[in-house]
Amino acid sequence: MLLFSEAAAVFSEIEKRSGRLEMTDLLAALLKKAEGAEIGKLTYLLQGMLAPPYEGIDLGVGERFAIEAIAASAGYSKKEVEAHYKKSGDLGDTAEALIGKKKQTALSTTEMGVTYVYDAMLQIAKASGPGSQEMKIKLLTELLNNASPLEGRFLVRFVLGRLRLGVGDPTIIDALSVAHVGDKSLREPLERAYNVCSDLGYVAKVFYESPERIEKFTVQPFKPLMPALAERLSTPKEIIERLKKCAVEMKYDGFRLQCHKSGERVELYSRRLDRMTAMFPDVVDAIKGVKAKELIFEGEALAYDSAKKRYYPFQQTMRRRRKHGIEEASKEFPLNLFVFDVLYADGRDMTNEPYAKRRALVEKLFKGKILQPSQALVVDSTKKLKEIFDESLSEGLEGIMAKDLAAPYTAGKRKFAWIKLKKSYGKAVDTIDGVVVGYYLGHGARAEFEFGGLLIAVYNPERGKLETVAKIGSGFSEAEMVELEKMLEEIKAARPPEELDYRIEPEFWVEPKYVVEVAFDDITQSPTHTCAMQDGKGYALRFPRLVRIRTDKGVREITTSSEVAEMYELQRSKG
């Protein structure tokens, strides 16, 4: 049995390290100690979750509940716990300190293994109905009664969703490989397995039981794949030079859905892999009518204005994503789902097949009114590609997507198999998607909103780090300022995110949760921002402004530091 105290000791050591190699070795040593029934649960704990996102399991424990549990287990009043927290800035540190000098001790304690802790956390998450809040506090109090001070620190951080070890999924994948073969040689098959099922705990369990199965890992219904991502180029000429003959699809400005079917069961997942099935009964009914017993496909959903014969803007389309008033919304904003890829069909994993073959299956299977193939043409000239791009913009769409006819589907990867060409926003050469890591108070005319701007970061997958790229102070409507202040107040943090590399500090840090689309005039080198920093200079967006909040995108899908660097070089090449 792997004791939770052993895991907590390793967590504490990882917090002291900044090098990814050191973290990998520490994790590998811990993973080696886990038994078969523990490996998946330990992996989830390392990720700071209890299950993959699409299962929708949320602990639902706020700071108030955690304070009550700490007070009950350590024998302090809630006011004393709150006073300590105000000084420490971290409720995990407060739990560690007060458990270390308890005013009362439990009559008996239980030695906690990783499985014991995981199962207790799952009980907390699943407690619902009348009395559920009291039950959550009781279960957390019992865990803290059994905990050493160090264990208490990580138990409290975990239930609050703030484990923040600075260990990303790539590091855990490397550690699984090192634990098994002593090096990172199995990183690629492990990463592919994770990308095609989005469940690292499941991958770790399968790998532990039968490593050879990872090499043959296949897509399966109701385990959504991480979406394939597109690279960008700025002209039709560059696209044709790279891809030669290619398929060109309209780039719809809607929300991406991944649809799974097996028999009569249908599930819909957002690009963030949240389950969306209940929101779109019209789409579910249409999928049930498709002539395939098992199917996984992707499409872009848009609301259509039949009176004006134009697609609704993104924000109006997003009104279909709601938990209440679903029937009324489906009548007001009827959806078209434009299918652009098939990933699995009747037992066959299609992801390794060339795009041309997958596209042929799209056109064979989808011919209905709600479900229809995305518009696509095969071209081999700059002139024709430019004509399609112009037509896309005239129809109120966002641009085009060019696709390599021979390329497989690369789940979770950003490749030149797909290349996007988008309209510009005002003077902006392009846009990026970044995650909010901090915010500023309003001053002057904005003082009444208690909100003045955002600090934005992009992702460096090689380092497993978020890196700052812009401080945004414009592009906000009054309604957006009010909405952002409310959203960010709820995830305010006393410290910067563990995975963030920064040189600029906002007035308030926040957990990296919300993605925004940002327009800009150009990219400059900066000693202040850490994006792709070398020799003391990173990259920064010049005149950045908010385009919109991307509630449909997750942190994994934000722009990478290397993309920003490539855009800078492209900008230089054009003078």
pLDDT by residue (tens digit) across 159-187? 998 887 778 888 899 999 999 999 999 99
Nearest CA among 97, 114, 51, 105 for reference residue 73: 105
Say if residues 351 and 408 touch (Cβ distance below 8 Å): yes
Distance separating alpha carbons of residues 146 and 422, to the nearest angstrom = 56
Q: What's the whole-number mean pLDDT along residues 562-575?
A: 80
pLDDT in tens, 44-89: 999 999 999 899 898 878 889 999 999 999 999 999 999 999 888 8
Say if residues 234 and 258 touch (Cβ distance below 8 Å): no
Residue 425 — very low, low, confident or very high, per pLDDT cuts 50/70/90? very low
Q: Do domains 229-422 and 430-573 have the same CATH topology?
A: no
Residue 140 — very low, low, confident or very high, per pLDDT cuts 50/70/90? very high
What is the per-residue pLDDT for 426?
41
What is the per-residue pLDDT for 496?
86
Q: Which residues are catalytic?
A: 251
Nearest CA among 567, 240, 252 for reference residue 429: 567
Q: What's the whole-number mean pLDDT along residues 135-143?
A: 95
Say if residues 409 and 341 touch (Cβ distance below 8 Å): yes
Q: How many CA atoms lie within 13 A of 16 on its CB side?
A: 7
Q: Does the pLDDT value for residue 33 go beyond 50?
A: yes
Nearest CA among 296, 297, 301 for reference residue 283: 301
Distance separating alpha carbons of residues 556 and 168, to the nearest angstrom = 11
Over pLDDT 90: what percentage of the chain?
A: 60
Nearest CA among 27, 1, 304 for reference residue 173: 27
Say if residues 471 and 455 touch (Cβ distance below 8 Å): yes
Q: Chain-centre distance of CA 290, in angstroms?
A: 30
What is the three-class DSSP state of 457? strand
What is the per-residue pLDDT for 271?
86
Q: Which two tokens stand for residue 234?
A: 């700025």
Q: Domains of the chain: which residue ranges?
A: 4-159, 229-422, 430-573
Residues sharing a CB contact under 8 Å with residue 166, sequence separation 6 or more, in sequence order: 14, 15, 18, 23, 464, 498, 499
What DSSP letter does each residue of 344-413 carry, written as one string?
Answer: EETTEE-TTS-HHHHHHHHHHH--SSSEEEPPEEEE--HHHHHHHHHHHHHTT--EEEEEETT----TT-
Distance separating alpha carbons of residues 42 and 50, to the nearest angstrom = 9
What's the CATH architecture for 430-573?
A: Beta Barrel (2.40)
Q: What's the whole-number mean pLDDT along residues 334-355?
A: 94
Q: Give me Rg for the CA atoms of the chain.
A: 25
pLDDT in tens, 364-412: 999 878 899 998 999 999 999 999 999 988 877 778 999 999 999 999 9
Q: Does the pLDDT value for residue 23 go beyond 70?
A: yes
How are the residues of the chain apportioned to helix, strand and coil, as percentages rounded to the nearest 5? 40, 25, 35
Q: What's the whole-number mean pLDDT along residues 286-312?
A: 85
Side chain identity at 325, as an amino acid letter?
G
Superfamily of domain 229-422: DNA ligase/mRNA capping enzyme (3.30.470.30)
Burial of residue 394 (CB within 10 Å: 0-12, 13-18, 19+) is: exposed
Q: Which two tokens stand for residue 214?
A: 């990872």
Distance separating alpha carbons of residues 138 and 136, to the nearest angstrom = 5
Distance separating alpha carbons of residues 33 and 1, to the nearest angstrom = 8
User: What is the average pLDDT value for the chain, to the nearest integer?
Assistant: 88
CATH number of 4-159: 1.10.3260.10
Distance separating alpha carbons of residues 218 and 192, to the nearest angstrom = 9
Residue 252 — very low, low, confident or very high, per pLDDT cuts 50/70/90? confident
Q: Where in 238-279 does DSSP place strands (E)?
A: 246-251, 255-262, 265-270
pLDDT in tens, 446-499: 445 567 789 999 998 878 789 999 999 888 877 778 888 888 888 887 778 878
